Structure 1
């Protein structure tokens, strides 16, 4: 195995792993949270008292009270950090993680700074990590790049048999139905035809296969 082959193999594997782990899909299991859907993407929302450490994991919220709290999550995509200067013995603050910036009190993707979406929010494009899109509040859809007109989005969450997909505030989520004691897998699609982020999962899988295909082609030609 020559150096070029080894390098190409390493790059392919890294791209596939990064692409696979970085995306929240309809099949994502949210640790200490639950899956929600907006018009153009899925994301994990945290249970009370928890905040997002990464796209699919929520951890208990820290108040950054002591040095023991350094690197603990204190807000979505934010951690406690020691920002002490020479004049300060200790200054523990809640700061945004790498690739995120503070905007109106929240840590948002750095690529989304100065992007206005209207009735929605800027997110990293589920189909291309180098791009951003506006994902709209349920009841609003994208027109000319921003969320500005009324429209329907189909709920594609895979709710259990004892759950129903319902609109809560600005997003869809699976809600347990009263009087139901059963647990099980199932899918309850609510809403009418419209935007459908399930297609993102399909494109996501195809992209990984494309990387692997390029790897196979190189093996054959070497």
Structure 2
């Protein structure tokens, strides 16, 4: 027999999606379309969510795809996931830090996206340091500072300078995972193209990604 809680979660996930499909079918022109859609990279099952987002499963169940968080973002950093990336994630908000990172509402105590959320998909936090959007990972093989060039772009961009990103005696940056909130400002500031910094969704182990990169390089 199916668990009652699982049934409830399934219904909560299906209802907003049903509304989305119906709206598209009627040509209603959803508000989230105004800023364009942003497809996930192939195979990217987890995305970087807005500040205050709960676990991915809880977020998807609670998010109504209303786009209110997208509408109020002063820096236009939130984008809707498009239908081509799967129906379950369609129209949910996410951010691509390399393009537009989260500026934390320019230092405002209350983040507008969290305040605008009509459900508990985005939960209030006591302070910006408590955010868990993701974690930055520096690729030492392409980072200018680690290659011997003086560069402190990511360090200067970090809102938690000397907390989330620290410099060693040779000026090379290191991410302090416990302090990184995942805003992506360092990724956006990186002078290397493609960026030497990868933003990982909260909960992903950087060691696993590091090993994957070593395999890719051969």
Q: TM-score, normalised by structure 2?
A: 0.21
Q: Which has the higher contact order (CA 8 A, sep 6+)?
A: 2
**Between Structure 1 and Structure 2, whose CA radius of gyration is higher?**
1
More helix by share: 2
More strand by share: 1
